Amino acid sequence: MPDRSPSSPRRAQAVVGAGIVLLGLGIAAGAVDIPSGAGYGGVGPNFLPWAVAGVLALCGVLIVREALGGGFRNMEAPSGAARAWWPGLAWVSAGLLANAALITVVGFILSCTLCYLLAVQGLRRATGQAAAGARTLLVDAATGLAIAAPVYWMFTRLLAINLPGLTGTGWL
């Protein structure tokens, strides 16, 4: 007899799939109001929202189908703690909030580097890794900079999308 309890994994998987379908439908409802006039390349501004809505709805339907057909078989048991570690959430949230608050002050590259640094600190601490050493902080900051700088230059130079910079040159 199948497990019909609210906490059964199959039911939870079906609920997640249904939520994804609803998210896709919500995006589609918002895409209705976006004008469809074709721009450069023959696609209009509503193309991407419709594509995302369609892919989300399809993925949600496939997840529901899999859940109703027996659930995700051969799935490994979840790793990690049984409960969330709230200080990790605080570190990641601090990174996102700092990025939002500082992006127009110190520019995209430095604010995203700080966001990366704080988020990685939270994730490292959540897994019990050493996070406060000077070497670790330098490596995390360098990695964040190595990710943020090319993204900034790609958006500003190749796509001609204005992002806040530290200087008026467009390179920082």
Q: Concatenated DSSP letters for 34-96?
A: S-----GGG--TTHHHHHHHHHHHHHHHHHHHHHHTT-STTPPPPPS-SS--HHHHHHHHHHH
Render each residue's pLDDT in the chain as its tens digit; 172 residues. Answer: 454 554 477 888 899 999 999 999 999 999 888 877 766 666 677 888 899 999 999 999 999 999 988 877 777 777 777 777 889 899 999 999 999 999 888 889 999 999 999 999 999 888 888 777 899 999 999 999 999 999 998 888 877 778 887 666 555 5
d(CA 96, CA 85): 18
- Give the chain's length: 172
What does pTM read for this prediction?
Answer: 0.59
d(CA 32, CA 26): 10
pLDDT value at position 133? 85
Give the start-to-end residue ranges of the domains of the chain. 9-68, 86-158
Cβ–Cβ under 8 Å, residues 46 and 34 = yes
Report which residue type is found at 165.
G
Q: What are φ and ψ of residue 99, in 5° steps?
A: -60, -50
d(CA 20, CA 14): 10
Look at the block and give the residue holding tokens 């501004």: 45
